[in-house]
Amino acid sequence: MHGLAMQPYSARFAKEKLTPQQGDIVIGKESYRADLEEGVLFERGREGVKKYTIEHVLGGKNVYYFLTLFDRGRLQTIPVAYDIEKKQWFDTSASGIRHFPGGERGEAVDWRSSSYTFNTACYNCHVSQLSTNYDPKTDTYQTTWAEPGINCETCHGPATEHNKIAKATAKGQPLPELRIISTKTMTTVQRNDLCVSCHAKANRIATEYQPTDRFFDFFDLVALEDPDYYPDGRDLGENYTLTSWSMSPCVKSGTLDCMHCHTSSGRYRFAQEKFNNACLPCHEDKVRNPAAHTHHAETSEGSKCIACHMPKTVFARMQRSDHSMLPPVPSATLAFKSPNACTLCHTDKEASWADVLVKQWRSRNYQAPFLKRAFLVDMARKRDWTKLSEMLAYIIDPKREEVFATALIRLIPPGQDQEVHRALLTAAKDPSPLVRGAAVEALGRLPSVESLQALVEATGDEYRLVRVRAAAGIASFPKMTVPAAYQAQVNKANDEYLAAITARPDQWTSHHNLGNHLLAQGKAGEAIPSYQTALRFDPQAIPAKVNMAIAHAQRGEVDAAEKTLLQALQLAPDNAAAHFNLGLLRADQSDPQAAEEHLKKAFVADPQMDQAAYNLCIITAKDRIDEAVTWCRKAVDLRPQDAKYAYTLAFYLKEKGDKVEAAKILSTILEKYPRHKDAERLLKELSR
């Protein structure tokens, strides 16, 4: 299947692999039909009939997707795709809608958007030796590749010398030397990194990945902060393999790599009748006597190792196996509605039924640790910090699971809480580059001498991921001086960071990140053009609009900031960040009524936005002290670790006349922060 990851469309291919589309597929106000004989897609709608020539075919294991050529060299995924198993045509975008637990539903992305542009979105994993050849001045592509599909050189490196030696060697004779990279001579880590360079939900930090390169020198991995995963780590949306693979105890043992079960070309190594042999030699007792372990008949599906440890789920018509290899946890299904192997097979049963059985079958409660860490992630996603101390303890626990620890670091907002700060400083020295990268990124939003010291040290890390995250953090401390002895090291890391955020000039996120970098350095005027470029790529990129408005506001360009935020709210009327910043802008314009209105809308859109609650406290305190105290309590409840919120609550309680409660809060602040001068002064005043 690697070699057929992409192939030219032809009438012969259509005849052998496809069945005709039975009826038009209606998407919005247009209808679509693929004509296999002509090799075109017909679009019928408000602008009459349009024809798009089908140029290429993507995929082939579960689904065939098709590409057409747009203007300026863009290869675009057409809006209809073909389900190979069901022999059925379907709406490409609608199949990718996320159905989040609790009934929340995502929205389909328009098929013409950059998300479905092959040149940028599919980047290098469906063709071999691809060169995007994007020209930002003309916004055009001249994309080329050596071969469609994944060829030998993708995994084995350049083969020119290998071919010369082979041609010079007599037929049937062994080659005197290979002159290619052999996967047999790779380490376990190298083989894994080779495969996951495509099979990972990740963000690129450098281009031109080659076999034997290290994954974290070229990519940053998405963890469970992403809602495409359930809190327990099971797949929900469009994921690949590495995030769940990283949780596998078998992988963490250091002895398992992808090519234990698969060939380098992607085929499964074990015959159907010897499926369980993949788990030898480590689990010989269970493979030889599966029924004792599985409580299913030896010849049944339930006694296949992968049935329970690698169950399949479907998203966007594509089947994927859970590569965490973890046991079924039906209690997590009860808590988070995540899938478990038991009820995926026994579809007529409830998770509670499976939960009772696995507790009967196992003398220890093996589900408890999985459930505990999942609850921590779930609470962090909901910004419920009542278990913050447990979250921080988990992050610095030597036995922590790196994917969960990384997710918690990314979800916990860095604040002035010393416990958070200490945990991040500890995590910055974690054995995992993924955890270290997340920790130094968070420290970059927490200015202090200790943070700067940790970031400066991290610019010398052995992994590029950590170095670029450290450089980004240092850039956000423009007024802090880097020691001269480290300046060269920091400059080198900064060059890597700038290369990372500009590596893909055809993506809006690259220009957005560059704008953020410039804004953090106090260069608002230089940041604005970067945000404008990001919005040219994606006019609906709300974060770029909001941050551009902040840049305008910093330059005193109030009208431009206001206009940009209003545009953002036209596109997304419930966007919390846009309402929040417009509320602050209205407050600066001495319009407290409008400021209050937008801040309340921000809080309704995001009930966890502590900054909105805090600013509402300040605004309402002028004439509604009771309401101010209520808002301040909400801010404190959301961020109990923030001493500023607690102090403000104490201050307004004093103003209201609740001096006893105010004194209690101030005493608590001083227990935690003995040097908090404002709290000390106010407590003395109350004592008098």
pLDDT single digits (tens) 584-601:
999 999 999 999 999 999
Give me the pLDDT at residue 416, please: 62
Mean pLDDT across the chain: 93
Residue 332 contacts by C-beta under 8 Å, 6 or more apart in sequence? 230, 231, 232, 234, 338, 340, 367, 370, 371, 374
Residue 101 has pLDDT above 70, yes or no: no
Give me the pLDDT at residue 649, please: 93
Residue 265 has pLDDT above 90, yes or no: no
Report, as an integer, the average pLDDT of 156-160. Answer: 93
Q: Please tell me the distance from the alpha carbon of residue 315 to that of residue 339, in angstroms, as a whole number.
A: 12
pLDDT band at 122 (very low <50, low <70, confident <90, very high): confident
Report, as an integer, the average pLDDT of 142-171. Answer: 94
Instruction: With beta carbons less than 8 A apart as the criterion, state whether 621 and 628 touch.
Output: yes
Q: Please tell me the distance from the alpha carbon of residue 108 to that of residue 121, in angstroms, as a whole number.
A: 16
Residue 377 has pLDDT above 90, yes or no: yes
Q: Please tell me the distance from the alpha carbon of residue 327 to that of residue 14, in angstroms, as a whole number.
A: 42
Residue 11 has pLDDT above 60, yes or no: yes
Tens of pLDDT, residue by residue over 208-256, are 899 999 999 999 999 999 999 999 999 998 888 999 999 999 999 999 9
Instruction: Look up residue 113 and give its two tokens.
Output: 């958007």
Report, as an integer, the average pLDDT of 470-479. Answer: 87
Residue 365 one-letter amino acid = N
Q: Closest Cα to residue 101, out of 296, 334, 394?
A: 334
Q: What is the pTM of this model?
A: 0.89
Residue 616 contacts by C-beta under 8 Å, 6 or more apart in sequence? 596, 599, 600, 603, 628, 631
- DSSP H helical ranges for 320-429: 330-336, 341-345, 351-361, 367-381, 388-396, 402-411, 418-427
Instruction: With beta carbons less than 8 A apart as the criterion, state whether 609 and 580 touch.
Output: yes
Taking the C-alpha atoms of 120, 126, 128 and 132 in order, what is their torsion angle to the nearest 10 degrees?
A: -10
3-state secondary structure of 341: helix
Q: Please tell me the distance from the alpha carbon of residue 70 to that of residue 184, in angstroms, as a whole number.
A: 42
Give me the pLDDT at residue 46, please: 86
Report, as an integer, the average pLDDT of 638-657. Answer: 90
Length of the chain in residues, anyone?
Answer: 688
Report, as an integer, the average pLDDT of 414-428. Answer: 88
Residue 525 one-letter amino acid = G
Dihedral sign of CA atoms 497, 501, 502, 504 in order:
positive
Residue 587 contacts by C-beta under 8 Å, 6 or more apart in sequence? 595, 615, 619
Q: What percent of the chain has pLDDT over 70?
A: 99
20: exposed, middle or buried (C-beta count within 10 Å: 0-12, 13-18, 19+)? exposed
Q: Please tell me the distance from the alpha carbon of residue 436 to that of residue 400, in angstroms, as a whole number.
A: 13
Instruction: With beta carbons less than 8 A apart as the criterion, state whether 324 and 239 touch.
Output: no
Distances in Å between the Cα of 521 and the Cα atoms of 112, 477, 516, 518, 527 are 35, 7, 9, 5, 10
Report, as an integer, the average pLDDT of 367-380. Answer: 97
Q: Closest Cα to residue 149, out of 115, 126, 123?
A: 126
Look-up of token digits 């005197």: 176
Distances in Å between the Cα of 678 and the Cα atoms of 95, 419, 541, 685 are 56, 21, 41, 11
Q: Cis before residue 281, ω within 30 degrees of 0?
A: yes
Q: Please tell me the distance from the alpha carbon of residue 24 to that of residue 33, in angstroms, as a whole number.
A: 5
Residue 174 has pLDDT above 80, yes or no: yes
Q: Please tell me the distance from the alpha carbon of residue 382 to that of residue 224, in angstroms, as a whole number.
A: 13
Q: Please tell me the distance from the alpha carbon of residue 143 to that of residue 34, in angstroms, as a whole number.
A: 25
Dihedral sign of CA atoms 652, 655, 660, 666 in order:
positive
Q: What H or E segment, with its residue span, contains residue 25? A: strand 25-27
245: exposed, middle or buried (C-beta count within 10 Å: 0-12, 13-18, 19+)? buried
pLDDT band at 102 (very low <50, low <70, confident <90, very high): low
Longest dimension (CA), the chain: 101
Question: Picking from 59-73, 540-554, 630-644, which range would have the lowest pLDDT averaged per residue?
Answer: 630-644
Tens of pLDDT, residue by residue over 352-372, are 999 999 999 999 999 999 999
Q: What percent of the chain has pLDDT over 90?
A: 81
Report, as an integer, the average pLDDT of 379-406. Answer: 95
Q: Please tell me the distance from the alpha carbon of residue 61 to that of residue 350, in angstroms, as a whole number.
A: 31
| DSSP bridge pairs for 105 | 99
| DSSP bridge pairs for 82 | 64, 89
Distances in Å between the Cα of 329 and the Cα atoms of 211, 306, 353 are 36, 15, 12
Residue 25 has pLDDT above 90, yes or no: yes
Residue 346 contacts by C-beta under 8 Å, 6 or more apart in sequence? 353, 354
Question: Picking from 22-31, 372-381, 469-478, which range would have the lowest pLDDT averaged per residue?
Answer: 469-478
Q: Please tell me the distance from the alpha carbon of residue 580 to that of residue 546, in angstroms, as a whole number.
A: 10
| DSSP bridge pairs for 27 | 30
Instruction: Look up residue 50 and give its two tokens.
Output: 């349009």
Instruction: With beta carbons less than 8 A apart as the criterion, state whether 193 and 183 touch.
Output: no
Q: Closest Cα to residue 182, out of 148, 222, 155, 213?
A: 155
Q: Please tell me the distance from the alpha carbon of residue 604 to that of residue 602, in angstroms, as a whole number.
A: 5
Q: Please tell me the distance from the alpha carbon of residue 523 to that of residue 555, in angstroms, as a whole number.
A: 9
Question: Picking from 2-11, 107-116, 210-219, 341-350, which range would have the lowest pLDDT averaged per residue?
Answer: 107-116
Distance, first Cα to last Cα, the chain: 80
Look-up of token digits 């400083």: 425
Residue 506 contacts by C-beta under 8 Å, 6 or more apart in sequence? 114, 119, 120, 132, 134, 136, 141, 537
Report, as an integer, the average pLDDT of 334-361. Answer: 96
pLDDT band at 123 (very low <50, low <70, confident <90, very high): low
Give me the pLDDT at residue 688, please: 85
